[in-house]
A and B are shown apart, each in its own frame.
Chain A
Amino acid sequence: MPHIPLNENLPGITGILNYRTDTALPIRQLTQILLRGESSLSEGERELIATIVSHGNECRFCTAAHTAAANILLGESETTEQVKYHLNDAPVSDKMKSLLVIARAVGISGRNVTPAMIQSAKDNNATDREIHDTVLIAALFSLYNRLVDGLASITPADPAFYESLAVILKDKGYLPSENRYASLKAINEPA
């Protein structure tokens, strides 16, 4: 049961961003820029950052949503599984692996990022901009995970919910729009 009254047709983050739309807007715009804006990291790679941080924070809603989004963008579901459970063996580039190590550390604390992690990323040809964006995306998901669980929002049990949400994230990105969540209505049910 959420700690504040949220629209019950909008589970997880969706109802929270609907509760106060003025503060939601810069959060959405920040997310759109970081996850869908111009970058030398692919959209799928950036969704992996969101996934690993959310998994580290044990935020089931965010982990499920961004796993599903990454799977659609990457066209397979093996990579997200490995990233979450066996990062060393994950089928991603060495550069991406080193950035995901940084992201995972940021998820715990900014101070967990070591010079060795940064050097490893640079040795694997990560640019300053890629390192910057990795840290900021990881920081942003540290915000999202806390919002979703801090307000005890509803986490649907049905995987079909997250598949639908992932299609919305792929096709529409993160900005508000009319009827943005229309396709979710029939599907959501509480865990």
Chain B
Amino acid sequence: MAHIKLLNEQLPGIVGLLDYRKETGYQLSALAELLLRGDSTLSSGEREIIASYVSHNNNCHFCHTSHGAAAAAHLNKGPEFIDDIKHDFQTTPISAKLRALLNIAEHVRQNGKKVTDADIQAARNEGATDREIHDTVMIAAAFSMYNRYVDGLDTWAPPENEAYMPMGERLAKEGYLSF
């Protein structure tokens, strides 16, 4: 049970919150749409991986699993991919550039000041552009917000990966403004 009385208690995680106050919900959805599905040299799959990875490290089950499911949909993978995100991609190869960006994202997640010049240089060495670095920091910062919103109000979240796969498909194909 969430800390506040939602309009529709059947809606999980952030979905119930976007419904609770629609004015702010619209802006939160619009931001996610631009960040994760807008124009970028990073694929949506890569960007959803960053979101899911940050959310896992913030212990936000709902956000980690839903964005992991979206990443899986973009990359044509199954629900076990979500667990691979938790385990630092031991099974699925990811590019050295994405690894360097994930390192930046993790430092942003902890506290912006933890991002070092060496972190940035490592990403540049793998070909990351200014815009890709900006977007990585922005995604990590945004998910530091979304995770706190979802868990700060103690919203409910289905436990199992499989429950999130249809949502992942919808996020990948129709996006964040389709809710």
In the complex, A19 has a CB within 8 A of chain B: yes
Tell me the nearest residue of chain B to A30, going by C-beta.
B27
Q: Given A23-B31, A150-B140, A152-B115: A5 and B152 within 8 A (CB)?
A: no
Smallest distance from the beta carbon of A115 to chain B beta carbons, Å? 8
Chain A, residues 1-29, CB within 8 Å of chain B (1/0): the string is 00111000000000010011011001101
Chain A, residues 127-154, CB within 8 Å of chain B (1/0): the string is 0110111011011101111111111100
Tell me the nearest residue of chain B to A132, going by C-beta.
B4
CA distance A118 to B27 in the complex (A): 26
In the complex, B34 has a CB within 8 A of chain A: yes
Chain A, residues 86-124, CB within 8 Å of chain B (1/0): the string is 000000000000000010011101110101001000000
Q: Given A5-B130, A110-B60, A143-B142: A149 and B150 within 8 A (CB)?
A: no
Chain A, interface residues (CB within 8 Å), range: 35 or more
CA distance A59 to B114 in the complex (A): 12
Q: Are A150 and B27 in contact (CB under 8 A)?
A: no
Q: Are B27 and A145 in contact (CB under 8 A)?
A: no
- B137 neighbours in A (Cβ, 8 Å): 3, 146-147, 150-151
Q: Are B112 and A128 in contact (CB under 8 A)?
A: no
Q: Which of B59, B131, B149 contacts A136 (CB 8 A)?
A: B149
Tell me the nearest residue of chain A to B23, going by C-beta.
A33
Q: Are A149 and B112 in contact (CB under 8 A)?
A: yes
- B107 neighbours in A (Cβ, 8 Å): 150
Question: Which residue of B111, B131, B150 has the most chain A CB atoms within 10 A of its CB atom?
Answer: B111
Question: Which residues 11-70 of A sit at the B interface, judged by CB distance below 8 A?
Answer: 16, 19-20, 22-23, 26-27, 29-30, 33-34, 37, 57-59
CA distance A107 to B144 in the complex (A): 9
- B130 neighbours in A (Cβ, 8 Å): 4-5
Q: Are B138 and A23 in contact (CB under 8 A)?
A: yes
In the complex, B108 has a CB within 8 A of chain A: yes
Tell me the nearest residue of chain B to A4, going by C-beta.
B130
Q: Are B133 and A3 in contact (CB under 8 A)?
A: yes
Smallest distance from the beta carbon of A50 to chain B beta carbons, Å? 13
Q: Are B154 and A113 in contact (CB under 8 A)?
A: yes
Q: Given A23-B31, A30-B27, A142-B145: A131 and B151 within 8 A (CB)?
A: no
Smallest distance from the beta carbon of A81 to chain B beta carbons, Å? 23
Q: Are A139 and B145 in contact (CB under 8 A)?
A: yes
- A135 neighbours in B (Cβ, 8 Å): 148-149, 152-153
Q: Which of A29, A59, A138, A145 contacts B152 (CB 8 A)?
A: A138
Smallest distance from the beta carbon of B53 to chain A beta carbons, Å? 15
Tell me the nearest residue of chain A to B104, going by C-beta.
A150
Q: List 7 A-B contacts (CB under 8 A).
A: A110-B152, A118-B3, A139-B144, A142-B144, A145-B112, A148-B112, A151-B115
What is the interface of chain A, defined by CB distance below 8 A to chain B? 3-5, 16, 19-20, 22-23, 26-27, 29-30, 33-34, 37, 57-59, 102, 105-107, 109-111, 113, 115, 118, 128-129, 131-133, 135-136, 138-140, 142-152
Closest 6 CB pairs of A and B: A149-B112, A110-B151, A150-B112, A110-B152, A128-B4, A146-B141
Q: A3-B137, A109-B148, A142-B145 are in contact. List 8 more A-B contacts (CB 8 A).
A: A20-B134, A23-B138, A59-B112, A129-B4, A146-B112, A146-B141, A150-B104, A150-B140
